[in-house]
């Protein structure tokens, strides 16, 4: 079905309790109450030539970020082992590239193999890919490729000027053609309007491949970036966005990603009830802080939610005893 702006707006703007009720009913039918745990590793940090207005990794801006080259294989494997011990299902690798050189694709292929050796799913975000690069990663065993559209097509050039919205779509097309699962979402709170948020959701429905995972990020304001002083987003807009996406994508994982540190336990709980059923688990995202593992486990225990694969790895009592191993 092709959704129009008006179709999606009607869903988005209905009374919030009715919206959440519909989203939660879909969530229970297709996922019960489980939460998927993923772990994110920045394998190459900083030095990106893109001018994304939200990103500390752009070389256009003066931020406090410390640059690092591609991590050694041994370090990635170490983090994968720790992540598995913490009950994580998928390890996601981030590299700050506009488009990765062949050496980075070769190294990523090695990362994939060593992570898969430990029985974990893999996801990579390395910027724009051509079809040959996507196929090489698929042949190495990659499960997912993440390439967010960030915001609506109409607002996109207010945030990024070094690539076009269509460039993003082309990479998603290449990823899908290679047989990789698509992970594609965006960022809320970039200064966009509510209409932009609805058009962002509409753009997700028209991707060349249906995303298997949709990350929903809240802007984390980074000093030195153009968006460091943007107005705060009303959290009800976050909840409405997640619930609308859940209704339109009943079988897709929705990951509550960056910005969770700005949400109270009750706000996070409302996001889970509205359709979010995946989180990044660990002390840090690519360059920004994340909720501690113990605080996440404590919240999920309060909610009576069992994360996917968690209690086969961790004794629930360790939550109270503060003994859960930390990922890095």
List the catalytic residues: 48, 52, 55, 92, 123, 183, 255
Which pair of tokens denotes residue 180?
């990789």
Cα torsion 167, 172, 173, 178 to 10°: value is 130
Residue from 236, 237, 242 nearest 257 by CA = 242
Find the angle CA(212)-CA(215)-CA(221) to the nearest 5 degrees: 165
Strand, coil or helix: 49: coil
Rg of the chain taking only CA atoms, in angstroms: 19
Q: What is the DSSP letter of 192?
A: -
DSSP symbol at 223: T
Give the 3-state DSSP-derived string for 263-326, with helices as H, strands as E and coil as C. CCHHHHHHHHHCCCCEEECCCECCCCECCCHHHHHHHHHHHCCCECCCCCCCCCHHHHHCCCCC
**Residue 262 burial (C-beta neighbours within 10 Å; 0-12, 13-18, 19+):** middle
């Amino acid at each position: 079905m092709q959704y129009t702006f008006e179709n999606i707006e009607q869903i988005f703007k209905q009374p919030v309790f009715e919206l959440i009720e519909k989203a939660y009913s879909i969530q229970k039918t297709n996922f019960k109450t489980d939460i998927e745990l993923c772990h994110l590793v920045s394998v190459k940090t900083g030095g990106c030539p893109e001018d994304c207005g939200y990103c500390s990794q752009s070389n256009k801006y003066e931020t406090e970020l410390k640059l690092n080259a591609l991590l050694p294989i041994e370090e990635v494997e170490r983090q994968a082992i720790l992540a598995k011990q913490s009950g994580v299902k998928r390890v996601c690798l981030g590299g700050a590239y506009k488009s990765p050189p062949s050496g980075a694709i070769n190294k990523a292929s090695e990362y994939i193999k060593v992570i898969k050796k430990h029985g974990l799913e893999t996801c990579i975000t390395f910027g724009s890919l051509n079809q040959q690069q996507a196929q090489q990663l698929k042949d190495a065993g990659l499960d997912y490729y993440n390439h967010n559209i960030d915001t609506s097509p109409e607002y996109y050039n207010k945030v990024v000027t070094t690539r076009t919205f269509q460039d993003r779509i082309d990479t998603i097309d290449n990823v899908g053609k290679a047989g990789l699962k698509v992970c594609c979402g965006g960022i809320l709170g970039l200064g966009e309007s509510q209409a932009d948020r609805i058009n962002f959701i509409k753009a997700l429905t028209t991707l060349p491949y249906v995303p298997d995972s949709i990350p929903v990020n809240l802007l984390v304001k980074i000093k030195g970036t153009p968006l460091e002083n943007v107005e705060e987003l009303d959290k009800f807009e976050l909840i409405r966005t997640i619930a609308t996406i859940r209704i339109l994508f009943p079988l897709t994982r929705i990951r509550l990603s960056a910005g969770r540190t700005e949400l109270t336990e009750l706000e996070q709980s409302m996001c889970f009830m509205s359709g979010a059923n995946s989180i990044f688990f660990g002390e840090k995202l690519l360059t920004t802080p994340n909720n501690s593992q113990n605080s996440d486990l404590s919240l999920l225990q309060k909610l009576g939610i069992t994360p996917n694969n968690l209690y086969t790895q961790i004794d629930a009592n360790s939550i109270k005893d503060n003994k859960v191993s930390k990922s890095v």
